Structure 1
């Protein structure tokens, strides 16, 4: 995945999401319980990776919901998740387990929303 922690790559650029390796990282990070087991440099690198991927998934969520009516439930819920993601991802990386886990949870939430948008699109397409 492209390293893009600030979300500057072209919004029209649609890269395939490398979901499974990132979700494996998300599951691993969320399962960690010992803050001392993670060095600050490692936490920074993991947080940067998750931030870049979260921004890529958020861009895909935005593309998927853009064509929905303004009052459509999937769009309203996606907007709420995206607002939360924008707020959280704008916070600086702190080199802590808590920071890394927050970014992992954000990736997970964005994928959950993307899956729901895909299901809604499939139902509308039938």
Structure 2
């Protein structure tokens, strides 16, 4: 007789996710490689779409971290204001449809880079 068991995770505030560090290095390498592209005929449209999807998913995760960390700062702080600017930019880029173009992938790579730069500068005191 085989019985299966599973645990239902209820974490509406994302507290468990906040404790898990992002696997940053592979995405930073991907961003660096993408931003080094100079030609339009680098990869197929489908490959570019897949890369854009990967960058989009990671950008959403980093956006959550930036938002969470910025939310812990005083509302009138400079670092929080700068984080809000980056978060608004992220909303605009992430709401745009994914295209299988180098331009689209470049936008998302630059977004991941900007999010990490902002995340690194947010220190809760």
TM-score, with structure 2 as normaliser: 0.85
* C-alpha contact 1:47 1:99 (8 A) present in aligned 2: yes
Post-superposition Cα deviations, 1:8-39, rounded to whole Å, max 9, x if no partner, equal x9651334211110000000000001111211
Q: Which runs of 4+ in 1 moved over 3 A?
A: none
**Which segments of 5 or more consecutive residues in structure 1 lack a partner in the other structure?**
1-8
Superposed CA RMSD: 1.5
**Which segments of 5 or more consecutive residues in structure 2 lack a partner in the other structure?**
1-10
TM-score, with structure 1 as normaliser: 0.84
Shift of 1:65: 1.1
Task: Tell me, in whole angstroms, the C-alpha distance in 2 between the residues paired with 1:47 and 1:77.
Answer: 25
Aligned residues: 112
Aligned to 2:92: 87
Q: Highest Rg: 1 or 2?
A: 2
Structure 1 segment 1-126 matched on structure 2, within 5 A:
12=14, 13-14=17-18, 15-118=20-123, 121=124, 124=125
Task: Tell me, in whole angstroms, the C-alpha distance in 2 between the residues paired with 1:65 and 1:96.
Answer: 32
Aligned to 1:4: none
